[in-house]
A and B are shown apart, each in its own frame.
Chain A
Amino acid sequence: MGALAVEAIGLSKTYGAVTALREGHFQLRPGEVHILLGSNGSGKSTLCKLIAGSIRPSSGELSLFGTPTNLSGPNDARARGIGVFYQELSLSPHLSVAENILLGAEPLTRWGTVDRSALRHRARDLIALFGSAAGPGLTPDAPVSRLSFDQKQIVEILKVFSSNPRVIILDEATSSLDRTQVTILFERLRALKAQGVAIILITHRMEEIFEIGDRVTIVRDGLSVATLEIAATDKNEIVHHMVGARIEGSIQRRLRPEPSLETALTLDGLQGPALAPLSVTLRRGEILGLGGLHGQGQSDLLLTLFGAQGTQAGRITIAGQRFRPTSPRAALKAGIAYISGDRRRVGVFAGRPVFENLTLSILLKTGARRVRPGLLRTLLEPILNRLKLKAPSLAVPIQSLSGGNQQKAVIGRWLTTKPKVLLLDDPTKGIDIQSKNDLYAMLDSLCAEGVGIILYSSEDSELLGNADRVLVFNSGQVTEELSGARLTEFDLYQAALKAA
C-alpha cells in the first residue's frame, strides 16, 4: 500500500476563542476516495484548508506522503502535489477561463512571456473532458465573470486537474453541478484513483457517498468521530454518527397551546430565483420551522417574504389580504417582521443609542414626522420588560450591550410594530443560553397572542424544540415536511441529505 498520502494527528485550529477544529484525526490512503461528512461548521473545510496550506494549524501534526510537514502556504502545498477545489472558489473574475485554469503554472515561450497558444490549447483539452456538459460559453477565452455558477465550478475543477496533483481535495465541488456533470467528474476521479491519486470529497448528497466513496470520515463539533468503510456501512449508521450519542427525543420541546385554526399567512406557488414553487399555510400561533443544510433556500424564502429579494411567481396572502413583497417597507406595513442572526450586517445600527435602535421601525410604520421620546418610552416599556433587556440606559450605544441584549433590542424594535407574521432567520446565532431562553419564552407569548412565526435555525435543537412542524430544504426545494413523532434529529438529518 505504501505510505499514507495524508495523515493528520490531533490537528486543531482556533480563531481567538472559537475552535474550528478540535482534534482532527484523519488518514488518507493513496488510491482511495475518502468522503468527509459533517454538518455546517463541523470542521470539514478547516481540515481541508489545513492540508491545503491556506491556514496553519494551532497544534497537532500533519504528514504528507509519510513525512511530517509544516506547510508554508498554498504554493508549498501545491508544489508537494496537493490540488484543492475551494468551496468558495479560487478564481480571478477578470481573467479568462484558460488563464484561471493554468494560473500559477503558466506555460512560457522561450522569450519568457506567457505562451498564449499553449495556454489556450491546454485549457481546451481540459474543457473537452466535460464535452457538451460544460454548457455554452465555456471557452478558453471567456472571462470567468461571465460564466454561470456551475461553469465556474467546472473551471475550478479543471484548475485542480491541470496541476496533476497526487492528492485532490474537493470541498463541495458538486453542489451546483447537474447529474451529467457529476457523472463525468466521477468517471475522471475513478481514473485518477486507479493511478494512485488520493481524493478527499466533501459532499452532502448521500447517494454520491455510496456511488464514489471508499471510506467516510464523519466530523462533528470539530472532532473526527468515526471512519467507516463505505462497503460495510449504510445510510442509517452514517446518520447516527452525524447525530452522535445524543439520545433520541432528548430535545425538550416547549409546551405551547395548539395553534389556532385561523391562517396568518398563505403562500400559493411562491417562486424565486433560488426557490422552487412553494405552497404552505401558516396558522396564527404556529411556529413553522425551516430545516436542512445551510444555504439551501431557507433564508431566500424569508428574504423574499420580507420583500428584500424578488419573486418570480406566486401569491402571498396575509390575514386574507394579498401582499406583494416589493420592498421591506411594504412588508413592514403589511405586518411582517424580519429578524436575522446576522446582527452586525442587517440588525443593529452600531454607534447609535439603544433608544434609536428600538424606535426605527415604529417611526417608519406610523410615518411620524416628529419624534416624541416621551410617548415612545411609554410604548417601549412593556416590551422591554417582556424581553428582559438589560441595558444601563437607553442612551448608551447599542454595541456596548452583549450580543444577546443587542438581539433583544432588534426584536423589541419589531415588536413595537405589532407584527402578524414574524420571520426569524437563525435568530440566536452567537448569543448566550440565558438570552436564548428569554427569546424562546418570548416566542411562547407571541404564539399565545396569535402571531404566526417562521423560524429558520442552524441549530437542530432550537428548530426541533420550537417548531410545530419543519419544512426541510434542499437546493431551494422543500423535500420533506416533518411533524409529530418525526421531529427528531435523526429524521432531520436524513431528510436534509436526501436528494432534491
Chain B
Amino acid sequence: MILYRRPWVAALAVTLLLLLANLAVQPSLFKPAIMLSNLSSWLPLILVAMGQTYVVLSGDIDLSIGAIISLVNVSVVSLIGAFGGGDGALLLAIVCGFAIGIGAGAINGVFVAALRLQPIVTTFGTGILFAGLALAIMPDAGGTVPDRVFETYAGPLLGVPVILWILSLAVLFVIALGRTRFGLRALAVGGDAQAAFQTGLPVTRVRILNYGLAGGFAALAALCLIGETATGDPLLGGSYTLSSISALVLGGTALSGGTGGAIGSLFGAMSLGIINNVIFFARLPFELQSLIQGIIVLAALAVGTLVARR
C-alpha cells in the first residue's frame, strides 16, 4: 500500500544499495567535489529520463529524444556564434534552444496523438530527421562558446553550485506538476486511453503536451551538455534515447503507461551512473566491463520490480 503511487521507493532502495557498492570500491565517493562531479556527469541523463517519463506515462514512447538533444546542442552553439557572444545573445540562444526542443517534441506529439501514427516507428523516423538536421547545421563536432558559459555552469550561484540549482528546480517542477490536474490526467490517459476519452478528458492534448514536455527536458539536458563540454557535437545525443528508457524502467515506470513517475526516473538515472562508477573503480578487465554492467543492470531491475510487486 505504501508503494502504491510511490513506485520510486523501490528505485530509491536500489540506488542506496548501489551507492554502498560504489563506496566499497571508491572510498572517496562522498567528498563534496567528487559528488559534484558525479552529479554533473549524471545530470543530462537524469533530465532526459524525467522528460521521457511523461511520454511513457501517457502510454507512448519517444525514440527521437537523443536526436533532439543533438539538434538543440548544435543549434545553440551555432546561434551563440551567430548572435555574437554577449549576455543578451546567450540568453536569446538559450530561449531558442528551448523553443527548438519543445517544438520538436510537439511535432512528435502531433504525429502520434493527432494523426494517430504508431509512436515507436514515428519517433524513430522523426529521430532520423532531427539527427539529419543536426548534421546539416554542424557537420563536424566543433564550435566554441565563450568561456563564461562553462565557468558559470561549473561555478556556484548564491553559494550553491549551479548544477544543484538545475537539479533542484527540475525536481521541484516535477513534484509540482505531479500535483496538478495535468499530472493526474496524464496518468489516466496512460492507464486506459479509451476510458479517459469517454470520461471527457482531452486525450490528444495531454499526449501532445507530454511530448512537448519531453522535448523541453531534452533541451535543458542539451544546454547542460554545452555547459560541460563547451562545444557542439551533432552525434552527442544518440545514446541518451535508450539510456533514458532504461532509467525510467529502473525507476519504476511501466512501459505500458499509467503508472510510475519522474522522481523514480531520477533514481533510475542515478543508478545507471553509479553502475558505471562501480565498473570503473572496480578495475575490471576492459573486456569484461560490458558483461558485468549488463548483469548489474538486470539485477537492479529485478530487485526493483520484485520489491514493487509486494
User: Chain A: residues with CB nearer than 8 A to chain B?
Assistant: 52, 54, 73-75, 77-79, 84, 86, 89-96, 99, 103-104, 106, 108, 112-114, 143, 159
Contacts and interface: CB of A to CB of B under 8 A. Distances in A.
Nearest to B7: A94
A442 to B, nearest CB: 39
A95 B187 contact: yes
Given A94-B259, A103-B188, A113-B176, A108 B200 contact: no
B199 A104 contact: yes
A94 B261 CA distance: 12
7 contacts: A75-B201, A91-B192, A91-B195, A94-B191, A95-B184, A103-B196, A114-B183
A73 B200 contact: yes
B184 A99 contact: yes
Nearest first, the 6 A-B pairs at minimum CB distance are A75-B200, A92-B191, A113-B179, A90-B198, A90-B195, A92-B188
Contacts of A86: 195, 198
A64 to B, nearest CB: 15
A81 to B, nearest CB: 12
Given A75-B200, A90-B196, A103-B201, 13 more contacts: A54-B198, A73-B197, A74-B198, A78-B200, A86-B198, A92-B191, A92-B195, A94-B190, A94-B259, A103-B199, A113-B176, A113-B179, A114-B179
A342 B262 CA distance: 41
A161 B188 CA distance: 19
B258 interface: yes
Nearest to A91: B195
Contact of A95 (B180, B191, B194): B191
Given A92-B258, A143-B4, A106 B181 contact: yes
Contacts of B196: 90, 92, 103
A112 B180 contact: yes
Interface of B: 4-5, 176, 179-181, 183-185, 187-188, 190-192, 194-202, 258-259
Contacts of B202: 75
Contacts of A52: 198
A84 B191 CA distance: 19
A114 B180 contact: yes
Nearest to A99: B184
Nearest to A163: B200
B7 to A, nearest CB: 10
A236 B183 CA distance: 53
Contacts of A94: 187, 190-191, 258-259
B200 A93 contact: no
Contacts of A103: 184-185, 188, 196, 199, 201
Given A94-B259, A103-B188, A89 B200 contact: no
Nearest to A82: B200
Given A89-B195, A113-B176, A77 B181 contact: no
B54 to A, nearest CB: 15
A93 B191 contact: yes
A119 to B, nearest CB: 9
A95 B185 CA distance: 10
Contacts of B259: 94
Nearest to B257: A94
Contacts of A54: 197-198
A74 B258 contact: no
Contacts of B190: 94
Contact of A93 (B179, B183, B184, B192): B192
Given A54-B198, A94-B191, A113 B258 contact: no
A75 B198 CA distance: 8
Nearest to B200: A75
Given A93-B192, A94-B191, A94-B259, A114 B184 contact: yes
Nearest to A144: B191
Q: Of residues B191, B200, B202, which shows the largest number of chain A Cβ atoms within 10 Å of its Cβ?
A: B200
Given A94-B191, A103-B188, A74 B180 contact: no
Contacts of B199: 74, 90, 103-104, 159
A39 to B, nearest CB: 24
Contacts of B5: 96, 143
A67 B199 CA distance: 23
Contacts of B200: 73-75, 77-79, 104
Nearest to B201: A104
Contacts of B180: 112-114
B119 to A, nearest CB: 19
Contacts of B184: 95, 99, 103, 106, 114
Contact of B258 (A79, A93, A96): A93
Contact of B188 (A95, A113, A143): A95
Q: Of residues A54, A99, A113, which shows the largest number of chain B Cβ atoms within 10 Å of its Cβ?
A: A113
Contact of B181 (A93, A95, A108, A159): A108
B197 A74 contact: yes
A154 B220 CA distance: 45
B187 A114 contact: no
A159 B200 CA distance: 12
A450 to B, nearest CB: 48
Q: Of residues A75, A95, A143, A159, which shows the largest number of chain B Cβ atoms within 10 Å of its Cβ?
A: A95
Contacts of A93: 191-192, 258
A52 B5 CA distance: 31
Q: Of residues B181, B197, B258, which shows the largest number of chain A Cβ atoms within 10 Å of its Cβ?
A: B181
Contacts of A91: 192, 195
A94 B183 CA distance: 13
B116 to A, nearest CB: 15
B179 A92 contact: no
A30 to B, nearest CB: 22
A74 B199 CA distance: 7
Nearest to A159: B199
A82 to B, nearest CB: 10
A54 B193 CA distance: 13
A89 B185 CA distance: 17
Contacts of B187: 92, 94-95
A496 to B, nearest CB: 28
Contacts of A75: 200-202
Contacts of A92: 187-188, 191-192, 195-196, 258
A69 to B, nearest CB: 16
A79 B198 CA distance: 13
A143 B201 CA distance: 20
A143 B4 CA distance: 8
B141 to A, nearest CB: 43
